[in-house]
Amino acid sequence: MKIGLVKANFPGERRVPLLPKDIKDFKNEILVEEGFGKFLDIDDQEYIDKGCHILSRAEVFAESEVIFSLKLIQPTDYSHLREGQMIIGWTHPFGSGQSFMKEQALPKKLIVVDLDSNSPCIYYENEIFESGIPKGLLYKNSFYAGYAGVLDALLQYGLIPTEETKIAILGSGNVAQGAFSSISKYSSNIRMYYRKTMSIFKENYTKYDIIINGIEIGKDDDPILSFLEQKSLKKGTFIID
């Protein structure tokens, strides 16, 4: 089986999902898009040395039975997808990937392996199957998304929290736990709120200097803070979502 790895062209995505050092005793043929490791200064030759074949993006799609794309495949690549291909990655079939499933996965009978951090599943022709991947195996992906996301936001904004900085973290999942692990290196003045305690957060949200959200809100859900409530935030409140 030929497995193709393409660079995720999702806006802002810079992660490299497969490092040369982790390619060991792999029985399938690996086709890698040229420049795959550029964000980590990994040269194509390092993948070649591990037995991979370096091809253009279009060639990877054309020759591979399986395509691994870390994030959701974007419309610019829809024309490259062939009927019956397997797509592996964080597709979010019921979230940001709904249009992809409707416009591509169903008409082209794609086999979609969604690497959900808690419950990875296989989607095919409106049916959902167990993937065989242990539940929770990939939780560190979302943990480090929260961890790195907070650090990046602080660096971009130019803010280093202190014990005087009042911080609220919303959520109890992997992302929120990663966010807590990250920002707790700077301050212990942190309070965590959960879906069940959002009413308490609503009573105190005007006191915080930093609010970090790790709760996913669906399109039909009420916002965490309405526009009217946002007007009551402390001046300069830094929100990391």
Name the CATH topology of 2-130: Rossmann fold (3.40.50)
Q: How confident is the model at residue 160 (pLDDT cuts 50, 70, 90)?
A: very high
Q: What is the DSSP string of 9-20?
A: -STT----S--G
Query: Cα separation of 109 and 17, whole Å?
Result: 25
Q: For 9-27, how does the pLDDT look when each residue is reduced to its tens digit (9 = 90+)? A: 888 888 899 999 999 988 8
Q: Mean of the pLDDT values across residues 225-231?
A: 94
How many helices (H) does the chain have, and how many strands (E)?
A: 7, 12
Q: How confident is the model at residue 136 (pLDDT cuts 50, 70, 90)?
A: confident
Tokens of 124: 């095919």
Q: Mean of the pLDDT values across residues 175-184?
A: 97
- Taking the alpha carbons at both ends of the chain, their separation in whole angstroms is 39
Tell me, what's the pLDDT at 101? 95
Query: Cα separation of 91 and 70, whole Å?
Result: 8
DSSP state of 218: -
- Please report, for the chain, the start and end positions of each structural domain, with discontinuous segments joined by +: 2-130, 143-240
pLDDT at 218 over 80: no
Establish whether domains 2-130 and 143-240 are of one fold. yes
Tell me, what's the pLDDT at 139? 86
The helix/strand/coil state of 237 is coil
What CATH number is given for 143-240 in this structure? 3.40.50.720
Tell me, what's the pLDDT at 179? 98
Q: For 25-74, how does the pLDDT look when each residue is reduced to its tens digit (9 = 90+)? A: 888 999 999 999 999 999 999 999 999 999 999 999 999 999 999 999 99
Query: Cα separation of 231 and 53, whole Å?
Result: 55
Q: How much is the pTM? A: 0.77
Please list the residues that pair with 167 across neighbouring strands: 190, 210
